[in-house]
Each structure stands twice: as C-alpha cells, then as structure tokens.
Copies of this chain bind each other. A is one copy, B any other.
Amino acid sequence: MDTVIVIKIGGNIIDDEGKLSSFLKLFAGVKGKKVLVHGGGKLATKLAADLGVEQQMIDGRRITDAETLKIVTMVYAGYINKNIVAKLQANGCNAIGLSGADGNLITAHKRKHATIDYGFVGDVDQVNASLLQNLLDNHMTVVAAPITQDGNGQLLNTNADTIAQEIAKALGKFYNVKLIYSFEKKGVLLDVENEDSVIPLINPVYYNELKEKQLIFAGMLPKLDNAFSALQNGVKQVIIGKAEELDQLITGKSGTTITYE
C-alpha cells in the first residue's frame, strides 16, 4: 500500500503570513501522496467584525448563523484555500483546493443538540474516498477547507480537526495513512510547563498508564481519544507536533507519535 500523509494546520500557522509561507515550502517538498486540511484562523472573526456581524456565543460555543456561514464560506473556501493552493503551485506542488461540496467530497448533517441550536454547523456523515483516490493517484495534492454540505444544497461549517480525521479514516482503507495534527506545542508534554518534555511515542498500554498516573494535561485528553479513535478506524499513525518541524514529524524524530501497536 502507498502511504498518504494527511496534515491539519491550525490558526497559529494561517494567521502568520511568514509561518504559512515557510510551512507551505516544507509541505510542498514532502514526497508522495498528501492532503492538507486547514482551519480558519482569525480572518473570519476579523471580517465579521469589519462587517458588523456579531458572533453569537451560547455556553461558550460559537453559533454559525446565516451571515456567519456566508463569511466562513468566503474566508475558508475562498480566500485561505485559494491562496494556499496558489502558493503550493508556486512551490511545484500540484494542489487542488476543495470544500466538502466539491465532487461531493464530504457530506454532513446539521448538528442536532437537545438544548443548543448551533446553526449551520455540520457533523460529518461520509467522505468520498474514490474522489480523493482519483486525485491522489493523478499526482494532485488535495487542500481541504472546513466547509461541508448536507446534500440538499446547504453548506455547513465543520471543525477542521474532524475533517482531517474523517479524511484520514476514509483513506485508511486504501493507503497507509499518517495523520498529523500540528498545533502550537512540540508534542504531548509530560510537563506542560516544559517544552522539552515531549513524549515521543504513545501506544494504548502506555496511554492507560499515563492516564492512571494522571500525567496527561486534561486539555490533551480529547485530542488523544480522537487519535485512538482514528487508529481504531484504519489510520496507521497519528502524530501531534509543531508544523514548523514537519519533516521531523513525518520521520518520528519530533512530536508525539501515537500508534495502536
């Protein structure tokens, strides 16, 4: 089986033009099949403020009303996605930018919740793996924006971490998939105050040990639970670390590698 690297970059990279350019150069240089999933960063929040569209928050969660959906569609699937694609093309990487609507890449449903109406937020139902296979096998690099569709013409705002995970799982049936989550720290830390305390490798046995001894920072638990869920669904490795160290993350020389073995 061929290897596919699925990497998710977050706001800390997207909001910093210099960091983004350096990262895209690194990413373009990675050999083989790859998918990039990007989040939104602060640009959508800024555009909403410039347009006087108030961001509704309920219980600390952002609500995607119709105006906000329009803004995130413009910013994520338009501005950010197309600029990333153009920069990758300039670096010799044949990128193709897609939302979940394009080629029916990702269908989702409007989130159902007993008490909160999240608005136009989508939870993923299905990823079109055969479209990804076609593009990857034709030497294209997919750049996915965190916008999905419900199949009835409605676009939906979807969490980029989730999109990366669902794409990785869908590709896991056909490829050896490495899923890389980049964030602001060097990896999963034993001591949250010490950037050099990165745990290089976590498997299920060690994860249970770490949890029992309460050695893992509470904020990391959902990320790690998600990682193990991906591993249970066909993804070979999940790697968590800094986007700036992409090459070392891929080879396991940096970041935290999570495996099921």
Contacts and interface: CB of A to CB of B under 8 A. Distances in A.
Interface in A1-37: none
Interface in A39-87: 50-51, 70, 73-79, 81-83, 85-87
B77 A73 contact: no
A151 B74 CA distance: 22
Interface string A154-171: 110000000000000000
Contact of A155 (B83, B104, B138, B147): B83
A101 B86 contact: yes
A170 to B, nearest CB: 17
B87 A97 contact: no
Interface string A220-247: 0000000000000000000000000000
A115 interface: no
A82 B99 CA distance: 7
A interface, size bucket: 35 or more
A96 B96 CA distance: 11
Contacts of A95: 101-103
Contacts of A155: 82-83, 86
A147 B82 contact: yes
A98 interface: yes
Nearest to A103: B96
Interface in A157-209: none
B86 A78 contact: no
Interface string A84-114: 0111011000111111011110000000000
Given A86-B149, A90-B153, 8 more contacts: A70-B79, A75-B78, A77-B82, A86-B101, A89-B151, A90-B152, A95-B103, A96-B102
